[in-house]
Structure 1
Amino acid sequence: MIVGIDLGTTHSLIGIYADDGPRLFPNPLGDLLTPSVVGVDDDGHVLVGQAARDRMVSHPQQAVAAFKRWMGTDRETRLGRRTFRPEELSALVLRALVADAEAALGGRVAEAVISVPAYFSDAQRKATRAAGELAGIRVERLINEPTAAALAYGLQERPDGSRFLVFDLGGGTFDVSVLEMFEGVVEVHASAGDNFLGGEDFLDALEAACLADLGLAPDALDAPQRGQLRRRLETAKRALSSEEEVRVECRLGERAIDWRIDQQRFAHLVEPLLQRMRAPLERAMRDARLQPEQLDEIVLVGGASRMPLVARLVSRMFGRLPLRHVHPDQAIALGACVAAGMKARDRRLEEMVLTDVCPYTLGTEVARRDEQGRPQSGFFHPIIQRNSVVPTSREDTFWPVQPGQSGIVLQVYQGESPLVANNIKLGELKVPVDPRLPPEQNAVDVRFTYDVNGVLQVEAAVRATGKRHELVLERNPGLLDPRQIRERLAALAELKVHPRAKQENVALLARAERLYEEHLHAREQLQQWIARFRAALETQDELLIREHRREFGAALDTLEPA
């Protein structure tokens, strides 16, 4: 069975393409959105989702979020007794999602289509695939998030020749893609974005302004207090979408906070972030060689796109109101489900063909001669230009720089700078040549082939000898190799992860602990409620536990209305 997954920075979702179209599955708490947060409890059990998110407030050193931004790096995070790489943290979220799908379907899930930001690098895409392997599923395809959003909107059903721009602002990443529909083909013309721009950055701007107004240094708050403040500011940020002014009240230690902010000041605070959005938008349109009036529709997706100032920016730039009728938090997941249906060859999707593009330019290092004829190395020579439709294959020819060279080294890079020092090295391929031949007779034909799954194959053929050499870049420096994946998979299998059936209880206790951290006046009452609920859990009587869980949740709602 194949599922579609939106593995997001702040929230993740899972679903399938069912008889009635794409369908998303709830987690044990009944929510479609599962927070992309991982933590551990006092006993070392792993928490995923809402329980881990609440744990971040009460025990900030025992939970982590926004690790999607670290994908493709070797950064490690310590939780409890062990450390986790970004792939492992993502794998734990994927495991929880798959467990939810299996509970709803009553069968095993073995394959998935996972959405990734359009501007994810080669390393980040491979790290996402490794996360799927660590979670025990085969990743059939990675689909760019704006492309998935287009499928959710049913843009493939529009008249031939229709052109669309998809604007995707999530919690941690920003993507924009220009797509065209013709003869049953959804083709991506251009993609651009910023992997470090999202709703979290808008929250950072609010936090900085709040602390400045209160005369507090950024390090004045301890981790639990900062977590509590950011939670209140997140609520305020959402309220600013519909209210002219919002008030933030909370108690941080002995200090009572009472802060106000209005829409006008918020817009001023985040203006630099809005300006950062302009460059990818303009770049995508330039690469697609289109003018704003040539677009038929503009689609907004991603939770952070709810902010009115984002819609205003898009409306000003393109001279029209964007589409927003599909739930912005669910659009990418729904599109991933459609893509999963395509992979499963659902008969209703047989006539649809989906193409994508290579988000970065791929090439090799070359030397160029200066005015005196001396070779100067370090220059980037593009072979596959960014926004080339994939799968794609391009060939170029290279020669040794000096007479007597016994070989050339093909240094493979990804990036947009004319100098390789500013680009990302993906690997290298050493190609022997005959040192007795002059350079002009030692030509090497080099072919780059890039597929829809982000795998780059480099082939080099020496004309003089006919010998061929190959490099398949399935791994980048800092990523896990197959042996390391097997080791990490075994380590993850030994982790004590709370079973799905207990998630409601775990999440409720984590919420109570967070409220205990926040509400000094209600601590005694909260302790009594926690003790009573723990006693109910000890009975192992499901009917009694369900009754106490309902009462416990209602009691917590009196402190924190939904």
Structure 2
Amino acid sequence: MIIGIDLGTTNSAVAIWRDGESVLIPNAIGDLLTPSAVSVDESGAVMVGMAARERQSTHPRDTVTAFKRYMGTQQTVTLGKRKFDSEELSALVLRQLKADAEAFTGEKVTGAVVTVPAYFNDRQRKATRRAGELAGLKVERLVNEPTAAALAFGIQTREQEPFLVFDLGGGTFDVSIVEVFEGVVEVRASSGDNRLGGEDFNELLVQHVRPKLDPAGKLAGADPVVLQELLRAAAERTRRKLSESDEAEFAIVWQGEQFAINVTSADFETAAEPLLKRLRDPVLRSLRDSSIRVEALSEIVLVGGSTRMPVVRRAITRMFGRFPNATVHPDHAVALGAAVQAGLLARSEALEEVRLTDVCPFTLGVDHAEPDGRGGWRTGLFSPIIDRNTAIPASRVNYYNTVSDNQRELRFGIYQGEAREVSGNVKLGEVRVPIPPKPAGEVVVECRFSYDTSGLLEVDVNVPGTSTSRNLVIMDDADPLTDSQLATRRDALAALKQHPRDESENMAVLARAARCYEGFIGERRDAVGHWIGVFENALATQDPRTIKEARARLVEALDEIEGERFL
């Protein structure tokens, strides 16, 4: 049995695909959401979920939440007598979800689809996989949370118009623009902010209320760790109440005395303005990357518990000029979509016609050097090869030349990120290739990146005119692929390693255009020449969608100028 898991910052959920639909699985106390919380008591026993969440106010030093934010980092937390990193803490939550699923179904869990924020980088994704392995799960696939949410919104019945998934959870914010056509779910663009979520609204509310809560300074001597947790819990309660009414009480009790103040929705919205503004940038970036105007979006789909906040919904309505769609429970959508993907992997008959494509969330490239304008070179700069939001699987190639005379080696650092300088990006590996000693600039090297939906990146570096080449495969260390499985995936990528200009369909259209150019004179010849240039520019992008659209326009123009359909 393959299950779908939404591993959230604040809450997690698990679901299965059964009898043609996604079904959420309740935990041991009957709840559909399990708090992503871990606590250790005096005896060293570990508690996960609601039991741990309930101890957070009374035992803040022995309880931890929101550890998903530190996935892929070296940060640790001490609970009881031992240290835990984010992978181990996440593994405890995943193990609990696995046990709940087995208790509910009476079947053994053999694998899982686990969701991650669309903007998780390579380190964070690998850490999530390792957490799954620590929990005894075979992670069949990682799926971006907005993509999973899109799967939960009745994809089989949707038209071709794109829609936007707005996913604001407890600790992360994701935006994805999705299109559905003839059973194919295509993600056009994803963006996000891994440091923006409901927890930030809680903290902001604490900062807003704190000076007014205790004007006499009676809390000055309080244990700061305990006090901070009391304030955070009160902020969470107040924020939730403000989702249902225009006013709520922010209150804590310290040493038998209550400290309270009323907070209105207007107060909260004013205080939250900096966070609300941060919601705009990922939206704008996803629209730019997809080349889709906001007017073309069929609807705005809300996902994540924090989208229930009225201040957020009002901000979204102002941003898009329309009311969003919240027909699927925002806390459940991601888990339900993960279960759809689990059903696809299990080859459920009800999902035979559904196919899912995704995009590369971060740009992949190498470090290179550029002239500094003073006769020297500026090194450590990022040269993108596969841009973010490229549909995957994908294969792209760039060319690089030597910068000094008699250079004997080219060294390519492999990076993931968006920063201009590679020091601001994530280094994935390195390739070194020997080259013949020649004057600077005369040796040109081809560097090709091929990337698949499971995160396998294959780097091929070739020196034209020689037999020298190097190959590097960068894959998830925790991905338990056999040699035959790895070979299969590499073969699939090999099929992509052809420049679009060499594909038969494009070669045929270019040949036809060349024939037309030779067959006409004057303005019509100039027009054909212009069209060829436009199509060659599209080929240079190596983007299948751009090339397909440009080819269709070229064929239509040639049909019109020739007065008949070319066969």
TM-score norm. by structure 2 comes to 0.81
For residues 242-273 of structure 1, the C-alpha deviation after alignment (integer angstroms, 9 at most, x for no partner) is 21111133311254212110000000010000
- Residue 422 (1) aligns with residue 421 (2): no
The SS at the match of 2:72 is coil
1:300 Cα deviation after fit = 0.6
Matches within 5 A, 1:395-474: 395-434=397-436, 436-474=437-475
The SS at the match of 1:162 is coil
Q: Determine the structure 1 residue equivalent to 2:4.
A: 4
Is residue 10–residue 65 contact of structure 1 (8 Å, CA) maintained in 2? yes
Is residue 57–residue 229 contact of structure 2 (8 Å, CA) maintained in 1? yes
The SS at the match of 1:355 is strand
Q: Determine the structure 2 residue equivalent to 1:98.
A: 98
The SS at the match of 2:57 is helix
Which deviates more from structure 2 when the two are superposed, residues 227-236 or residues 217-226? 217-226
1:136 Cα deviation after fit = 1.1
Cα distance in 2 for partners of 1:457, 1:125 equals 17
Q: Determine the structure 2 residue equivalent to 1:486.
A: none
Is residue 141–residue 453 contact of structure 1 (8 Å, CA) maintained in 2? yes
For residues 49-77 of structure 1, the C-alpha deviation after alignment (integer angstroms, 9 at most, x for no partner) is 11111122211111111010001111111
1:241 Cα deviation after fit = 1.2
Cα distance in 2 for partners of 1:289, 1:167 equals 18
Q: Determine the structure 2 residue equivalent to 1:137.
A: 137
1:373 Cα deviation after fit = 4.0
Is residue 357–residue 391 contact of structure 2 (8 Å, CA) maintained in 1? yes
Cα distance in 1 for partners of 2:243, 2:59 equals 30
TM-score norm. by structure 1 comes to 0.82
For residues 149-196 of structure 1, the C-alpha deviation after alignment (integer angstroms, 9 at most, x for no partner) is 11111134212x221000000000000000111121111111111000
1:371 Cα deviation after fit = 3.4
1:110 Cα deviation after fit = 1.7
Q: Which amino acid aligns with 2:186?
A: E
Which deviates more from structure 2 when the two are superposed, residues 404-413 or residues 340-349? 404-413
1:135 Cα deviation after fit = 1.0
Q: Determine the structure 2 residue equivalent to 1:291.
A: 293
Q: Determine the structure 2 residue equivalent to 1:88.
A: 88
The SS at the match of 2:365 is strand
The answer to which structure, 1 or 2, has the higher relative contact order (CA under 8 A, 6+ apart) is: 1
Matches within 5 A, 1:477-516: none
- Residue 74 (1) aligns with residue 70 (2): no
Matches within 5 A, 1:353-392: 353-392=355-394
Cα distance in 2 for partners of 1:115, 1:481 equals 16
Please, which of 231, 240, 243 is the counterpart of residue 241 of structure 1? 243
Alignment CA distance shift 1:218-1:311 (3 Å): farther
Cα distance in 1 for partners of 2:468, 2:345 equals 37
Q: Which amino acid aligns with 1:404?
A: N
Residues paired across the two proteins, number? 477
Which deviates more from structure 2 when the two are superposed, residues 57-66 or residues 206-215? 206-215
Q: Determine the structure 2 residue equivalent to 1:205.
A: 204
Alignment CA distance shift 1:338-1:219 (3 Å): farther
Cα distance in 2 for partners of 1:249, 1:273 equals 23
Is residue 153–residue 326 contact of structure 1 (8 Å, CA) maintained in 2? yes
Please, which of 343, 346, 349 is the counterpart of residue 344 of structure 1? 346
1:343 Cα deviation after fit = 1.0
Q: Determine the structure 2 residue equivalent to 1:187.
A: 186
- Residue 126 (1) aligns with residue 122 (2): no
Cα distance in 1 for partners of 2:458, 2:221 equals 48
Q: Determine the structure 1 residue equivalent to 2:162.
A: 163
Structure 1 portions without partners, runs of 5+ = 483-562
Cα distance in 2 for partners of 1:273, 1:42 equals 39
Cα distance in 2 for partners of 1:480, 1:28 equals 30
Is residue 208–residue 218 contact of structure 1 (8 Å, CA) maintained in 2? no
Cα distance in 1 for partners of 2:99, 2:166 equals 31
Q: Which amino acid aligns with 2:137?
A: I
1:372 Cα deviation after fit = 4.5
Q: Which amino acid aligns with 2:403?
A: V
Cα distance in 2 for partners of 1:362, 1:481 equals 20
Is residue 447–residue 461 contact of structure 2 (8 Å, CA) maintained in 1? yes
- Residue 151 (1) aligns with residue 151 (2): yes
Is residue 410–residue 430 contact of structure 1 (8 Å, CA) maintained in 2? yes
Alignment CA distance shift 1:481-1:284 (3 Å): closer
User: What is the RMSD of the two structures over their aligned residues, measured on CA atoms?
Assistant: 1.9
Structure 2 portions without partners, runs of 5+ = 481-567
Q: Which amino acid aligns with 2:11?
A: H
Q: Which amino acid aligns with 2:198?
A: G
Cα distance in 2 for partners of 1:371, 1:243 equals 62
1:82 Cα deviation after fit = 1.6
For residues 96-122 of structure 1, the C-alpha deviation after alignment (integer angstroms, 9 at most, x for no partner) is 000000111112112111111111111
The SS at the match of 1:260 is strand
1:437 Cα deviation after fit = 3.6
The SS at the match of 1:9 is coil
Is residue 404–residue 441 contact of structure 2 (8 Å, CA) maintained in 1? no
The SS at the match of 2:179 is strand
Is residue 362–residue 387 contact of structure 2 (8 Å, CA) maintained in 1? yes
Q: Determine the structure 2 residue equivalent to 1:58.
A: 58
The SS at the match of 1:17 is strand
Q: Determine the structure 2 residue equivalent to 1:29.
A: 29
Is residue 203–residue 235 contact of structure 2 (8 Å, CA) maintained in 1? no
Cα distance in 2 for partners of 1:329, 1:219 equals 38
1:221 Cα deviation after fit = 4.4
The SS at the match of 1:205 is helix
Alignment CA distance shift 1:230-1:376 (3 Å): closer
Identity %: 51
For residues 450-495 of structure 1, the C-alpha deviation after alignment (integer angstroms, 9 at most, x for no partner) is 11122322221233432332222236xxx9899xxxxxxxxxxxxx
Cα distance in 2 for partners of 1:86, 1:204 equals 21
For residues 362-383 of structure 1, the C-alpha deviation after alignment (integer angstroms, 9 at most, x for no partner) is 1111111243442221221110
For residues 411-446 of structure 1, the C-alpha deviation after alignment (integer angstroms, 9 at most, x for no partner) is 112222222233232222222223x34454533221
Alignment CA distance shift 1:218-1:323 (3 Å): farther
Cα distance in 2 for partners of 1:326, 1:367 equals 49
Q: Determine the structure 1 residue equivalent to 2:177.
A: 178
Is residue 126–residue 478 contact of structure 2 (8 Å, CA) maintained in 1? no
Alignment CA distance shift 1:107-1:309 (3 Å): same
1:218 Cα deviation after fit = 8.7
Is residue 161–residue 296 contact of structure 2 (8 Å, CA) maintained in 1? no
Q: Determine the structure 1 residue equivalent to 2:562.
A: none
Q: Which amino acid aligns with 2:400?
A: F
Q: Which amino acid aligns with 2:452?
A: D
Q: Determine the structure 1 residue equivalent to 2:303.
A: 301
Is residue 111–residue 138 contact of structure 2 (8 Å, CA) maintained in 1? yes
The SS at the match of 2:226 is helix
Is residue 443–residue 464 contact of structure 1 (8 Å, CA) maintained in 2? no
Q: Determine the structure 2 residue equivalent to 1:519.
A: none
Q: Which amino acid aligns with 1:142?
A: L
Is residue 126–residue 454 contact of structure 1 (8 Å, CA) maintained in 2? no
The SS at the match of 2:279 is helix
Alignment CA distance shift 1:221-1:272 (3 Å): farther
